[in-house]
Structure formats: structure tokens, C-alpha cells
């Protein structure tokens, strides 16, 4: 099975989670490329640097809340300002180990977020997200 034509991005400072996520995506051929960022600022800078090249931008972002430098909510504030200049639709999921209702409610109040997922993201959930993207982009098999 060839990889899907999507670029996935994980913004998370946990190196063990980064490794497991990337390995799952690669072994399952869920994407042609996985971009890993350790904080929101690094990811925002990547988006700004590549804003003119839509094909280099991720199709879906999995965003942690608690990170150094720029957390997930701060990332979303900056992304919302940047979004009108982004040349493609980017689907964003907030992925966190937090079960704090205030975090969940805050995330659900941000219309640019597709969903709030409690870590870890299962292989089946990733598969469903990719299948939804395929349908959305007219790539269903």
C-alpha cells in the first residue's frame, strides 16, 4: 500500500510520544510525510516560512496543549491570525493527556479545531481521520 498523499504534523514536546506517533503513521502508511515540532512557536515559524508553498504545509495537525515556549492555545491564537494567508485547508486536532473540563471546553470553543482527543491517539482513530481527509479531498478508494 502506498502512503496517502497527506502531510501530517505533530506539535508536542514529548519525545517518546513523538517517536511512537511518527512510527505508527509511517508503518501504517497514513501519510507521505510527518512533520514534528516540539513547541507551537517552532510550528508557527514553519507555517510562516512556507506560507507561499501550500504543498509543503501539513494537511492535518495534531496539537498538544502543554508545551514550553508556546502552548497549544497560544499556537491557535497565532494560527487564527495567520489562517487567511494559508493557501490550503489545515485540519487541526487538539491532542492532550488533560482531562480537565476547562481545557476540553476551551478547545471545543475554538471553531478552527476539529476535535479534542485524549492521548494517546489510537491507530484506529488515526485511520478514521485519514479516511475522512481522503473523502474530503475526493481520494476515496
Q: What's the alpha-carbon Rg for the chain, to the nearest Å?
A: 14
Tell me the average pLDDT across 66-90: 95
- Give the chain's mean pLDDT: 92
Question: What percentage of the chain carries pLDDT values higher than 70?
Answer: 95
Check whether 139 has a pLDDT greater than 90: no
Residue 1 belongs to some domain of the structure = no
H or E stretch at 102: helix 101-108
Residue 2 belongs to some domain of the structure = no
Question: What percentage of the chain carries pLDDT values higher than 90?
Answer: 79
Q: What is the pLDDT of residues 80-135, one digit of tens each?
A: 999 999 989 999 999 999 999 999 999 999 999 999 999 988 899 999 998 898 88
Residue 122 domain boundaries: 7-136
CATH of the domain at 76: 3.40.50.2300
Q: How would you class 67 by CB atoms within 10 Å of its CB: exposed for 0-12, middle for 13-18, buried for 19 or more?
A: buried
- Is the pTM here over 0.85, yes or no? yes
Residue 134: what pLDDT?
Answer: 85
Residue 141 belongs to some domain of the structure = no
Q: How many separate domains does the chain show?
A: 1
Amino acid at each position: 500500500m502506498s502512503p496517502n498523499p497527506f502531510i501530517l504534523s505533530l506539535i508536542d514536546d514529548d519525545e517518546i510520544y513523538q517517536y511512537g506517533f511518527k512510527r505508527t503513521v509511517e508503518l501504517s502508511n497514513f501519510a507521505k510525510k510527518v512533520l514534528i515540532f516540539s513547541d507551537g512557536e517552532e510550528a508557527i515559524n514553519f507555517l510562516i516560512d512556507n506560507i507561499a508553498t501550500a504543498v509543503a504545509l501539513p494537511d492535518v495537525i495534531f496539537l498538544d496543549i502543554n508545551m514550553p515556549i508556546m502552548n497549544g492555545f497560544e499556537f491557535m491564537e497565532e494560527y487564527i491570525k495567520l489562517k487567511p494567508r494559508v493557501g490550503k485547508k489545515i485540519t487541526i486536532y487538539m491532542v492532550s493527556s488533560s482531562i480537565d473540563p476547562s481545557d476540553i471546553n476551551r478547545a471545543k470553543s475554538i471553531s478552527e479545531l476539529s476535535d479534542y482527543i485524549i492521548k494517546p491517539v489510537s491507530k484506529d482513530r488515526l485511520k478514521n481521520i485519514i479516511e475522512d481527509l481522503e473523502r474530503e479531498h475526493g481520494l476515496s478508494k
